Amino acid sequence: MGDQITTSVVIIGASFGGILLARGLRKHNTPFQLFEQEGSFERPRGPVRISQNGTEALCVTIPDELGDLFIETCPKLIVPSPSFWDPKTLAKSDIPIRPKPPGRGPCAIERTWSCHFQALA
């Protein structure tokens, strides 16, 4: 009864989400194993969209000064307001713009850069 069971979390993939999860687990002293198929992060991978929740999660797991750097240098996504056209009159009808939610907002980054950035912290 007195034996303690230690469970390790297995993370498959060291992309943005995998590294972010590993950082959060390390912050809370939770054991984990991180597996990645690629041998390095040098191969270009293209852009990835990070939701507002992902941006907030990243900023919680890295030092404040890196979070500020990330927010300042990350391209912001512009969410266009939808427009509708009346099929009979061809008149344009704009939909009111939704209020912007509080927080840092979504952004787009290059995957390789995000892995190198997180390695800084």
Q: Which long-range contacts (CB under 8 A, 24 or more apart) does 82-88 make?
A: none
Contact in structure between 112 and 43 (CB atoms under 8 Å): yes
Q: Is residue 2 part of a domain?
A: no
Q: What are the tens digits of pLDDT across the range 22-70?
A: 988 988 899 999 998 877 666 666 778 888 888 888 888 888 888 888 8
Query: Does residue 102 lie in a domain region?
Result: yes
pTM of the model: 0.62
Structural domain for 90, as ranges = 9-39+51-120
Residue 44 is assigned to a structural domain of this protein: no
Q: How far apart are CA 13 and CA 27, in angstroms?
A: 19
How many domains are there within the chain? 1
Question: Does residue 4 sit within a domain?
Answer: no
How many Cβ atoms are within 10 Å of 67's Cβ, its own excluded?
Answer: 18
Grade residue 75 by pLDDT with cuts at 50, 70 and 90: confident
Q: Are 107 and 77 in contact (CB under 8 A)?
A: yes
Find residue 12's DSSP bridge partners.
35
Residue 58: CB atoms within 10 Å = 27
Q: 8-17, 47-56, 66-75, 112-121: which has the minimum mean pLDDT? A: 112-121
